Chain A
Amino acid sequence: MDWLNDIANLTNSTFVFTTALIFGAMGGLFSERSGVFNIGLEGMMTGGAFGAAIATYYAENAGYGWVSPWIGILAGIACGVLFSLLLAYTTVTLKANQAIVGVVINILAVAITLYLVKVIFDGAGDTDTLKEVLKKWPVPLLSDIPFLGQALFNTYPTTYIAYLLIPISAYLLYKTPFGLRLRSVGEHPGAADTVGINVIKYRYIGVIISGVLAGIGGAAIALTTTSNFSHTTVSGQGFIALAAMIFGRWNPWGVLGATFFFGMAQALRNFVKLYEWSKDIPMEFLYMLPYLLTLLVLAGAVGKGVKGPAAAGEAYDPSKR
């Protein structure tokens, strides 16, 4: 029965790895659905992880106990929003190139956070290890089911929130007037403007939601998997989230599938490391998998009409309506 335990553990860690990816990918989804390319996800998640780690560090030293990681998450959200405001202001108001500002956010976020960590911790490249991080919450009764309980119902609170986020977002995007307006602004801002939807406002909302979610995503990494912040904390997860959003075809349910798949790839490579025979496997291909699949889907699926929001990537100019 050993292998059953292994599978339960693997599933469990898949869900943990998926958490940050779901937050990141859903963040990207809200932004791109409103018509703003968000390459800066990586930067926003880095900001979130940094904010969470620093705030938790100070909160636990001030004696806030188990509340500290939650204060950390709020701080992570604040940092994510800060970077998203930068993106929103420059691309929506000033009509700057969205891809370039995204690159700038990635460069700035990594540099500023690492700089501040070095300033705060006297030149060290990472924060001290956090003592008060998020603990696993076993769901009463359900977690007692053999194997299944360990696999599904004994994980971090952020993971539960991430999985709740999917149906909530799907409902918000496809069943409410707000969602319809947000999507219309990303598909055809001119038409949306004509029927009286405030394009600028909806794009700001989309990008800010993106910052909030990416911030939580980064915070989730710092407060569950790494327990500190350094330059390797986020290391590319923002880009995997971006890939997952595309692989999931800009749809919450698609994102669920894509993040689960990519999260499993991450869990799997940590899992096989425990075995001696893993040395013979070209692990690089497992690392490459999310990007390769996304590229293949993009290349093969475009003919079938699967494309991102039509107006994503361009600033809205009312005079060209």
Chain B
Amino acid sequence: MSDNQSVRKWSRIFVANNIWVPIIAIVLGLICGAIVMWIGGFNAMEAYQALFDKVFGSKYDIGETIRTITPLLFTGLSVGFAFRAGLFNIGADGQLIMGMTGATIVGVKIDFLPWIVHAPLTVICGMLIGGLWGALAGYLKSSRGVNEVISCIMLNWIALYLSNYLIRTVVLKPGTQRSETIQESASMSIGWLSTFMDNARMDWGIVIGLICTSLFYIILWRTKQGYELRAVGFNPEAARFSGINVPKNMLKSMMIAGMFAGLGGVFEVLGVFHYQVISAASAGYGFDGIAVALLGGNHPVGILLSSILFGVLTYGSAGMNFSASVPTEIVRIVIGCIIFFVASHGLIQMLYKPFMAKREAKRKEAA
């Protein structure tokens, strides 16, 4: 393939119709947020200003923003990958929790290995457990015909309670509601970078995340396996007729999706907190991942960009709360509105179709 062609292919996601939907959705989402703030009696411009000041205020804040982006990128990749194979992975949340738990247990319990062995081992264990959890939903779908949306919702809650049980019985720090701190040899934090960034919690997660983003592209568009996955996503019937094993591909796609989400959880433990808490509800990264994947059009570049956007919004909301005293929930409202507008893109097309039609008519006149 010539350079010219590949450039055109990369830029295709930024042209014509499909780029307008996410952009308009973001603008409408921010406007909705502004309206809600106005109803609550806050100054929306001041609040958005505070959001950006918070994010780009200092080296520490930039570092922490990157930390916030990391899990969103992973869960976004997870949801996006399954979408490409025609499956709606609403279970990234549970897969992430299982990844966290796997990493915590291996990170705490094994204490005789050097970093070079222990850290990668812990990462891989967490990733595989996340993948297993995803594969469970994939198995139920492919061999039992269970709708993956339903099974994923159930698996999310099962993962939450199973994880709480495992932490409580296996690695509990006595007298607290959290696990023991992981061994130094399992840590994925980058000490010198944290020092450089004024003690922001920097870790290898974002690096692995970027590698996974390129893997996402390579697997789906540069391998035979990826071709099969996408064929199943486009039209399972047609894929079956052309000799592709559809159930097996569904299983594989859910497993890989689970691995991505599991990695997100792994770095939350190994890179950021170094322990896991017993919680009554999940942090909701998996649901944010749905937002990231949808806004990013299930394309690796789009997913990266939208995870950055949502990471900035999420981290910046603390600044809005601090200096403009707007409740942080406002950012959840904005994110919700953005996915709402992307999901019901019929609404947006109604808005911009007339403009497009006019432009088209003018072009025809000129010709």
Chain A positions within 8 Å of B, measured between CB atoms, are: 37, 39, 86, 90, 94-97, 99-101, 103-104, 106-108, 110-112, 114-116, 118-119, 123, 232, 235-236, 239, 242-243, 246, 282, 284-285, 287-288, 291-292, 294-295, 298-299, 302-303, 307-308, 313
Contact = CB atoms under 8 A, between A and B. Distances in A.
A79 to B, nearest CB: 15
Given A288-B157, A288-B158, A291-B158, A112 B36 contact: yes
B343 interface: yes
What 5 A-B pairs come out closest when comparing CB atoms?
A: A111-B332, A94-B346, A108-B336, A284-B165, A115-B329
Main secondary structure of the interface of A (DSSP, over half): helix
B149 A39 contact: yes
Main secondary structure of the interface of B (DSSP, over half): helix
Contact of A284 (B168, B290, B291, B339): B168
Contacts of B343: 90, 96-97, 100-101, 104
A299 B140 contact: yes
30 contacts: A90-B344, A94-B344, A94-B347, A96-B345, A99-B90, A100-B294, A100-B343, A103-B90, A103-B290, A103-B339, A104-B343, A107-B335, A107-B336, A108-B332, A108-B333, A111-B330, A112-B36, A115-B40, A119-B41, A123-B327, A235-B281, A242-B153, A243-B154, A287-B157, A288-B161, A291-B153, A295-B146, A298-B150, A299-B144, A308-B147
Contacts, number: 135
A246 B327 CA distance: 36
Given A96-B344, A123-B325, A288 B162 contact: yes
Given A291-B157, A298-B144, A302-B144, A104 B281 contact: no
B333 A284 contact: no
Contact of B346 (A39, A95, A282): A95
A39 B337 contact: no
Interface of B: 36, 40-41, 88, 90, 140, 144-147, 149-151, 153-155, 157-158, 161-162, 164-165, 168-169, 280-281, 287, 290-291, 294, 325, 327, 329-330, 332-333, 335-337, 339-340, 343-347
Residue in B287, B330, B344, B346 with the greatest tally of chain A CB atoms within 10 Å:
B344
Nearest to B149: A99
